Chains A and B, each alone.
Chain A
Amino acid sequence: MELNAKIPSGPIDQHWTNHQFEMKLVNPANKRKYNVIVIGSGLAGAGAAATMGELGYNVRVYTYNDSARRAHSIAAQGGINAAKNYQNDGDSIFRLFYDTVKGGDFRSRESNVYRLAEVSLNIIDQAVAQGVPFAREYGGLLANRSFGGAQVSRTFYARGQTGQQLLLGCYQALQKQVHAGNVKVFSRHEMMDVVVVDGVAKGVVVRDLVSGRIYSDTADAVVLATGGYSNVFYLSTNAKGCNVTAAWRAHRKGAGFANPCFTQIHPTCIPPSGEEQSKLTLMSESLRNDGRIWVPAKEGDTRAAADIPEGERDYYLERFYPSFGNLSPRDISSRRAKEMVDSGHGVGEMRNGVYLDFADAINRLGEGAIRERYGNLFAMYEKITGEDPYKVPMRIYPAPHYTMGGLWVDYNLQTTVPGLFATGEANFSDHGANRLGASALMQGMADGYFVMPLCIGDWLARVNPGDTPTDHPACKDAEREVKEKMDALLAVGGKTSVDTFHRRLGKVMWDYCGMSRDADGLKSAISQIKEIRDEYWQDVRVLGNGESFNQSLEKAGRVADFMEFAEVMCYDALSRDESCGAHYRVEHVDEEGEAKRDDENFAYSAVWEFKGVGEEPALHKEPLTFENVPLSTRSYK
C-alpha cells in the first residue's frame, strides 16, 4: 500500500493557494459528462454534493436517512470554530492551526490542518449568506464564545442548535440543486459496497431500504461522507443509525484505515439509567463553565448530595488541575471521572456518574442568570432523568462521541483507492489523536464546500467519463456478494437478537478499547471479538425477508461490519505502544498519571491494510513531521 500524502511544496501558508493553481481543471463544457456519487448528506456530503452540482457535474447522493436533512450533523449543539478574529482577541489562521495541531497531540498532518484553518473564514461567510441565523450581538454583528478551553473566542453558534442550522443551510443548497436537475438524492438507500475496477473506484452497490432492491450505480468518482463509528461501542452520543459500513466496505476493497483507535470520549453525558438504555445524551460542554464537578470523598457513600457536607466532597478536577479545574480538556476530564467511578466514588442509583453541581453558581449569580444561560439544557436534563438540576446536582459520565480515526486520505482527500474520496468525520485527516470542541463542524464544511469540489476536478480531468456500465462484471460480483450476505444473515435463524450482540460487542470495546487501554486487555478483546463474531453468525435471529422494508436486517448488516471493524481498532490500540491524546495506554503514563507520548517511535499515522476477516491487518506508516508547530508536551496543571 503506497501512502503518498501529496503535500504541496513551499511554505505552509502557500500550500493551498499553490495547489489550487496546480490542479487540473475540467473544461466547463465537459463537466456535464462526469458523474459523481456522494454517500451521505451531512455537512461533509450535502455541502460537497450541492457545490459539485453547482459546478456542473452530475451528482447522485445516497443516504440511509429518510431525508437528507436528518443526517447526524443535525445533532451538533455547541458551535463551529473559525479564525475570523471578530473579537480582536489575537486569533488568526496560524493560531487556529497551531491550537488544532497541538490539541490533536501531534498526530495530524500539518498541511491539511493549515488548510482547514485557512478555509474556516469562508465557511462562516458562506453560512451567513445562506441565511444561517447565527447568534448576534445587539449591534447586529455576529456573536462568539470561547469553547472547549480555547484561549480566544472563535466559536460561532446558533443557540444550542448549531449543527442543525448549518446542516439545514447545506440541505437547502442541496435541494436547490435537486430542483435545478443537477443533483439527485436517494433517501432511504444504504451503500453496501464499493465497485472497484482495475484498482479504481467506479461506483457503489446500494440497497433501497424500502423495496429491498440491491443494485449498482457507477460514476467517475465516489465520495464517502458517511460520518463516524462511535456506535461500535453500542452506547454513544451518535444517532442510532450511525455505522461504519461504508468505510469498512471501502477498507475491504483496498482503502487504508488510519488510526482507528483514536476515539473521543465526551466528559459530559447523562449516565445510563438501566439495561435497556439505547443511546446516551450529550449535555453541552459549556455547562462546565459554571458547574463544579465532584464526588463523595468516601468510597461507597450512598448519602444524597445535599447530605454530604462540603468537607466530605472531592472536587477532584480542581484538586488535580488547579489552573484548568473543571475546564480541563475532554480526554483528561473523562478519564478522571472513570477513575472516580471505578474506585467506588460513583453517584446516582447505579453509582455510575459524577456530580456537576451548580449550587455555587446559583448562589453567586442567581437562579435567573443560570436559567438564562442553560435553561434549555436543564429542561432537557429534567425530561430525561426526572431530576431538577436547579435543586440537585446533575449527574454526568463520559460517553463515546467522536472518532478521529477514519479512512486514510491524501491532501486531495483521496483514499488509497484512486477515485474514492472521503470527507468529514469519515476520514482521518485533521484532528490527530484528539479533536477540539467545535472543530468537527468546521472540518465537515471545509471538506464539503471548499476542498472536495476543487480536488475532485483534478481527478476527473484525468479520467475518461462514463467508462463503466452498471452491468460490468465488477458490479455484478459486488451485488452478488451483498445479496449473499443479506441472505446469510436471514438464514442463520438463531435465537439471539442483533441488539443483544451489539451490546455485547460494545461492552468489550468500552471495557478494553475505551478510555484506558493496556496490552493484555486489548489482546483479550481481540479474542473475545472473534468469539462474539462467530456466535453471531451461528445464533443471530433476523426475521422477515430481504425484499421489503426490514429494519432488523439493516441493523444486522451494520453490526456484522462493526464486528469485523472492532478487531482492527484493537490491533491499532495495541500496536500504538504510547499514550497520546485520547489514546491512553496505562503502561505509558508519568508519575502524575498523565499520558506520555513517544515521538521518537510513534510520530506517524497508522494505516491498516485489510488481509481478510479475522486475519491480522498489515500496518503501514505515514511519518509525521512538525515544521511549523514545535513538538511539545501538553500540560494543564
Chain B
Amino acid sequence: MDLTLHVWRQDGPNDKGRFETLPAKDISEHMSFLEMLDLVNEQLIDQGKEPIAFDHDCREGICGTCGLMINGVPHGPLSLTTACQIHMRHLEGATEIWVEPWRATAFPVIKDLVVDRSAMDRIIEAGGYVSVRTGAAQDANATPIKKIDADMAMDAAICIGCGACVAACPNASAMLFTSAKVGHLGFLPQGQPERYERVLNMVQVHDDEGFGNCTNHGACQNACPKGISVDFISRLNRDLVKATLTYKPYEITAV
C-alpha cells in the first residue's frame, strides 16, 4: 500500500502544533498500524528528522497506553479494537490517513501524539478501590458471589483506562471511565461499604480535573475498545443521586 499521512506534530504543551504530511510507501497489509508508524519513523531518522512521538507498550490491546485518532476516530476504524491492534489491511482502500492525539482539556499534549492522562489516575485515587489492609482478608470463598454479579463486575473491570471515551466525547467527559470503576466495585459485596462515598468523591475529582459533563451522546461507548456500556453511566447516576440525597459522611449506621 502507498499512503499519505497527515500527522499531528507538536513540540510541547505550549506549542501550537500543526499537521505534517508524510509519505508512507510500500506498506505491507500484514503490518500493524504502529509498525507502519515505526517504519515512517525509521525513514525520518534516515533523513535526519525527529521521529513522531507516540505512546505504546504492550501492543496487544491490554495496557491502554496507545491512543490515536485515526481519521478522526479514536483507535481507528475497527470496533472493539485498540490502535495497536489495527493492521494495515483494516484500512484497505485508504490513501490519506490523519493521525492526531486525544484532544481534551484534561489531557495536555506532551509531544506530538503523546498526551498526559494522569487525571485519570487521580479519579481512581479519589475512591476507585476497596480499602483492605494487606493480610487482613478473610478466606476467598467465605462470601459466595452470584456468578451474574461477578460477570457484570468483570464487564466493567475490563476498562483499560485508555481515554478513548474522553477523546470521543463532544464534552470531553470521562464519565464512561469513571462509571466503569464505580460499576465494577458496586456489583461486588466487597465494594458496598464505600459505595456512596466512592461515587461522590470520584465524580467530584472528575469535575475538578476539567473533564466535561456527560450529556448522553453515547459516542464514548462506540469508541470504547473494550465495549464498556453506557448503562454503567446510568448506574453511576443512580448511585450519585442516592449518595447526594442520603449520604452523610459521619452518619452512624449501626449501634
Contact = CB atoms under 8 A, between A and B. Distances in A.
B128 A172 contact: yes
A239 B48 contact: no
A142 B65 contact: no
Contacts of B55: 66
A131 B153 contact: yes
Contacts of A276: 28, 31, 35, 38-39
B121 interface: yes
A543 B161 contact: no
A273 interface: yes
Interface size class of A (residues with CB under 8 A): 35 or more
Interface in B120-167: 120-121, 124-126, 128-141, 144-147, 150-151, 153-154, 157-158, 160-161
B153 A161 contact: no
B137 A450 contact: no
Interface stretch (B110-118, B216-224, B228-236, B247-255): B110-118
A274 B120 CA distance: 37
Interface in B34-86: 34-35, 38-39, 42, 45-46, 48-51, 53, 55-65, 78, 81, 85
A136 B145 contact: yes
A543 B87 contact: no
Interface string A582-613: 00000000000000000000000000000000
Interface string B80-113: 0100010101000000000000000000001100
Given A65-B65, A136-B147, A142-B140, A51 B45 contact: no
A154 interface: no
A144 to B, nearest CB: 11
Interface in A364-390: 380, 383-386
Nearest to B153: A133
B7 interface: no
A278 B34 contact: yes
Contact of B58 (A135, A140, A239): A239
B178 interface: no
Contacts of A185: 121
Given A176-B125, A179-B125, A133 B59 contact: no
B144 A69 contact: no
A75 B12 contact: no
A47, A124, A140, A385: most-surrounded residue (chain B CB, <10 A)? A140
Interface string B182-193: 001100101100
B145 A125 contact: no
Interface size class of B (residues with CB under 8 A): 35 or more
A161 B58 contact: no
Given A75-B63, A450-B135, A499 B147 contact: no
Given A239-B58, A549-B114, A172 B144 contact: no
A187 B118 contact: yes
Contact of B150 (A125, A129, A136): A136
B138 A129 contact: yes
Contact of B134 (A124, A128, A210, A449): A449
Interface stretch (A89-97, A163-171, A461-469, A530-538): A163-171
Contacts of B140: 84, 124-125, 127-129, 142
B242 interface: no
A541 B45 contact: yes
B18 interface: no
B238 interface: no
A194 to B, nearest CB: 24
Contacts of A129: 130, 132, 136-138, 140, 190
B30 interface: yes
B32 interface: yes
Nearest to B126: A179
Nearest to B65: A70
Contacts, number: 213
A175 B141 contact: no
Interface in A495-554: 497, 499-500, 541, 543-544, 548-549, 551-552
A239 B190 contact: no
A67 B57 contact: no
B151 to A, nearest CB: 8
A134 B184 CA distance: 12
A75 B154 contact: no
B191 A131 contact: yes
B87 A70 contact: no
Interface string A446-477: 00011001000000000000000000000000
A225 interface: no
| Main secondary structure on B side of the interface with A | loop
B157 to A, nearest CB: 5
Contacts of A541: 45
Contacts of A298: none
A391 interface: no
Contacts of B38: 276, 278, 499
B29, B55, B57, B117: most-surrounded residue (chain A CB, <10 A)? B57
Contact of A386 (B89, B153, B160): B89
A70 B129 contact: no
Contacts of B39: 276
Nearest to B157: A133
A499 B59 contact: no
A67 B89 contact: no
A385 B50 CA distance: 31
Contacts of A277: 35
A554 to B, nearest CB: 11
Contact of A274 (B28, B56, B61, B81): B28
Contacts of B45: 497, 541, 543, 552
Nearest to B53: A551
B54 to A, nearest CB: 8
A19 B57 CA distance: 39
Given A125-B140, A278-B38, A69 B121 contact: yes
Nearest to A47: B134
Interface string A540-580: 01011000110110000000000000000000000000000
Nearest to B156: A133
A451 to B, nearest CB: 11
A131 B110 CA distance: 34
A311 interface: no
Contact of A171 (B81, B89, B117, B124): B124
B63, B136, B154: most-surrounded residue (chain A CB, <10 A)? B63
A358 B134 CA distance: 43
A68 B121 contact: yes
A131 B130 contact: yes
B222 to A, nearest CB: 18
A384 B157 CA distance: 24
Given A50-B134, A69-B121, A128 B28 contact: no
A139 interface: yes
Contact of B184 (A131, A187, A551): A131
A444 B246 CA distance: 41
A384 B191 CA distance: 37
B132 A241 contact: no
A70, A74, A126, A499: most-surrounded residue (chain B CB, <10 A)? A70
Nearest to B121: A67
Given A65-B57, A130-B129, A172-B130, 11 more contacts: A66-B65, A69-B64, A75-B63, A84-B141, A131-B191, A161-B158, A164-B158, A210-B110, A274-B30, A380-B85, A543-B48
Interface of A: 47, 50-51, 54, 65-70, 72, 74-75, 84, 86, 122, 124-131, 133-142, 158-159, 161, 164-165, 168, 171-173, 175-176, 178-179, 185, 187, 210, 239-241, 273-274, 276-279, 281-282, 380, 383-386, 449-450, 453, 497, 499-500, 541, 543-544, 548-549, 551-552
12 contacts: A50-B134, A72-B57, A129-B130, A140-B146, A140-B147, A172-B124, A179-B125, A273-B30, A278-B32, A278-B34, A386-B30, A499-B38
